[in-house]
Chains A and B, each alone.
Chain A
Amino acid sequence: MLRKEQNDLLCQTGPGTPMGRMFRASWQPALLAEELPENECPPVRVKLLGERLLAWRDTDGNYALTDEFCAHRGVSLWFGRNEHGGLRCPYHGWKYDHTGQCTEVPSEPSESGYCQKIKLKSYPLVERGGVLWTYMGPPEQQPPLPEWEFAMVPASHSFMSKRLQESNWLQAMEGGIDSSHVSFLHSGELNSDPLFKGSKGNQYNMNDMKPVFEVVESPGGLYIGARRNAENGNYYWRVTQYVMPAFTMIPPRADHPVHGHFWVPIDDENCWAWSFDYKVTRPLSDKERKAMEAGQGIHVAYVPGTYIPTANKTNDYLVDRKAQKEGRTFSGVFGIAMQDASLQESMGPIVDRTKENLVSTDNGIIMARHRLLRALKTMENGDMPPGIVAAHQHVRSAAVVLPPDKHFKDAAKEALVVQTGKEHVTV
């Protein structure tokens, strides 16, 4: 359980909030690059960390992420004309460049220089790995660009999707580090999903339904090791990475692409679940890419023209009670992502953690909250939170078989950090 004030502290990410400051200290995924496919394309509304913004791309290809609303009368610039190096408000013709600087106020004499006094709030927007990243913190503290491995491999080696999740970011993120639910909720998919099935690790998973967990602090967050029995008295370890505040990476299975998530607040009651898959040394195969585009693995199929999952709360997640009874899906919902999201959304937009009854196997979640709260405390003294520096981002999940006397953090030390030109260590 958490006290109400602790829950509020972790769940509220709007401007001026402590947790909002933590998110604003690092680069966050804001849009997929495909959402702004060409110069002068239509602008896109973006809500991030409780701020209404507009993403657009000018005549010269500069990306812009500016206040959504015109400084004149407050109309949405989503209706703006993207023309000749700027975005023009269709109401009275005020025009802005990609930094949010107003460049024309037609009703005022140009000699007056009035437009120079008008500037919309704007944030940097930079493409890396098919994602448009933004930094919403103080400009003087802007860190170097993110170096997550999936964003650094060639475009042919990775796939990124995003989906709307109608819950607070924390209950979504906590699902990403809750290893003990996999053998139940996702049991059907381990043997059927083309991006999961066929790994020897799956056999260990299904043969030992009572894993033992080890939670270890890492420089950027946590390693969460789940230990199952393997042959000859050895242990099969699946090590999940959590990097503060909202990055989680799932341990690999056989030669399948490795996947993980960012859980980025839209506002306090909604978040984007960003889902990536990648390989280091080879491009994704056509089959893998098609499966991801079709919504398999950790991805979803969309309502056309949106990033809203086809199975969503408005259609009861297309729950199939017959499939549930027949054991084809444990919860009746199909697909790993929506199995998680359906349950996390059912908690309500912000779950009341004063009512929960955590057990020993929830220590990963308890430790993640503890580290977040601890980081918030140190930020009060001017310290930067973990997760910003490249070393905290150069991490990997791993699946390894180790002798019983070996601690995964030491024995798999190399497997838990980026090894240039080498694939993830996996079983």
Chain B
Amino acid sequence: MQSESARMSSAAEARFRIDAPNSKPRSVKVIALDEPSERIVKELSQRTWNRAAFFTASSFGGTPKQGESFSGWLSDLAGRTKNLIEEVNSADLVVMVAAAGENAQAASIIGEACSLKRVTTTALVLGGPSISDEALSKTLSHLRPWALMLVIATAEDYIADMLTALRA
């Protein structure tokens, strides 16, 4: 007689797996940290997503001053200022997008907000093979303290693939 493991892992048994949703859509907030990334994020926002929302922090370079509010550090793609804390608070995952060589200082304020609210962060750095190690290192140094997962991708379409894979 076959063992239970042998029987239950067969292709024939796979058809008895419960065919019902096993998750609820997650809220994913995608934030461009610089102008080149903002262009890509704008393109992404035109597609259909479950619960992904797209923002930019590109106009908020530099680091916040001591005691400065978190509230004004984000805008939607139409340019309306959004409350960073509120957006982070309603997120399951925050994805920061940066172009290699660009200033990604806004990562610190977004990362701090995520840390405060215990929201997972992923950072995506886009850069082709022509980007110098130095330029890449500069961008990474801003992102590394604040990202639980950091991906350096050469192809822009990785972001869409990643968001799809995460059911965003």
User: Residues of A at under 8 Å CB distance from B?
Assistant: 1-2, 166, 212-217, 269, 313-317, 342, 345-350, 352, 355, 357-363, 366-367, 369-370, 373-374, 404-407, 409-410
What is the CA–CA distance of A346 and B161 in the complex, to the nearest angstrom?
A: 27
Q: Say whether B116 faces chain A, with CB atoms less than 8 Å apart.
A: no
Encode contact with A along B123-160: 1 for CB under 8 Å, 0 otherwise. Answer: 00000000001001100110010011111111100100
Within B9-62, the residues touching A (CB, 8 Å) are 9-11, 13-14, 17, 22-23
Partner of A217, one of B3, B133, B153, B162: B153
What is the CA–CA distance of A143 and B12 in the complex, to the nearest angstrom?
A: 40
> What are 17 A-B residue pairs whose CB atoms fall within 8 Å in the complex?
A217-B153, A269-B11, A314-B2, A316-B3, A346-B5, A349-B9, A352-B14, A355-B17, A357-B22, A357-B23, A358-B167, A363-B149, A367-B151, A370-B158, A405-B137, A405-B141, A407-B137
What is the CA–CA distance of A407 and B158 in the complex, to the nearest angstrom?
A: 21
Cβ A355 vs Cβ B22 within 8 A: yes
Q: Say whether B6 faces chain A, with CB atoms less than 8 Å apart.
A: yes
Complex contacts, B162 vs chain A, CB 8 Å: 363, 366-367, 370
Q: Say whether B68 faces chain A, with CB atoms less than 8 Å apart.
A: no
Q: Say whether B164 faces chain A, with CB atoms less than 8 Å apart.
A: yes
> Which residue in chain B gives the minimum CB-CB distance to A357?
B23
Partner of B148, one of A355, A360, A374: A360
What is the CA–CA distance of A369 and B144 in the complex, to the nearest angstrom?
A: 24
> Which residue in chain A gives the minimum CB-CB distance to B152?
A216
Q: Say whether B93 faces chain A, with CB atoms less than 8 Å apart.
A: yes
Q: With A217-B153, A313-B5, A366-B166 given, can you name 11 additional A-B contacts, CB distance below 8 Å?
A: A1-B167, A212-B147, A213-B150, A214-B150, A313-B6, A346-B8, A349-B14, A357-B23, A360-B120, A367-B151, A369-B161
Complex contacts, A357 vs chain B, CB 8 Å: 22-23, 167
Complex contacts, A370 vs chain B, CB 8 Å: 155, 158, 161-162
A331 to chain B, nearest CB (A): 12
Partner of A316, one of B4, B11, B22, B148: B4
Cβ A215 vs Cβ B151 within 8 A: yes
Q: Say whether B78 faces chain A, with CB atoms less than 8 Å apart.
A: no
6 tightest A-B contacts by CB?
Answer: A313-B6, A313-B5, A214-B150, A360-B149, A348-B14, A366-B165
Q: Say whether B122 faces chain A, with CB atoms less than 8 Å apart.
A: yes
B108 to chain A, nearest CB (A): 15
What is the CA–CA distance of A314 and B3 in the complex, to the nearest angstrom?
A: 5
Residue with the greatest number of chain B CB neighbours at <10 A, chosen from A1, A342, A360: A360
With A212-B149, A410-B133 known as contacts, the answer to whether A349 contacts B10 (CB < 8 A) is yes
A410 to chain B, nearest CB (A): 5
Cβ A213 vs Cβ B149 within 8 A: yes
Complex contacts, A404 vs chain B, CB 8 Å: 144
Complex contacts, A405 vs chain B, CB 8 Å: 137, 141
What is the CA–CA distance of A315 and B4 in the complex, to the nearest angstrom?
A: 8
What is the CA–CA distance of A315 and B147 in the complex, to the nearest angstrom?
A: 43
A380 to chain B, nearest CB (A): 16
Cβ B6 vs Cβ A314 within 8 A: yes
Complex contacts, A346 vs chain B, CB 8 Å: 5, 8-9
B167 to chain A, nearest CB (A): 6
> Which residue in chain B gives the minimum CB-CB distance to A3?
B164
Cβ A1 vs Cβ B164 within 8 A: yes
With A348-B14, A407-B133 known as contacts, the answer to whether A217 contacts B154 (CB < 8 A) is yes
Cβ A348 vs Cβ B141 within 8 A: no
With A313-B5, A348-B11 known as contacts, the answer to whether A367 contacts B153 (CB < 8 A) is yes
Complex contacts, A214 vs chain B, CB 8 Å: 149-152
B61 to chain A, nearest CB (A): 20
With A316-B3, A358-B166 known as contacts, the answer to whether A217 contacts B9 (CB < 8 A) is no
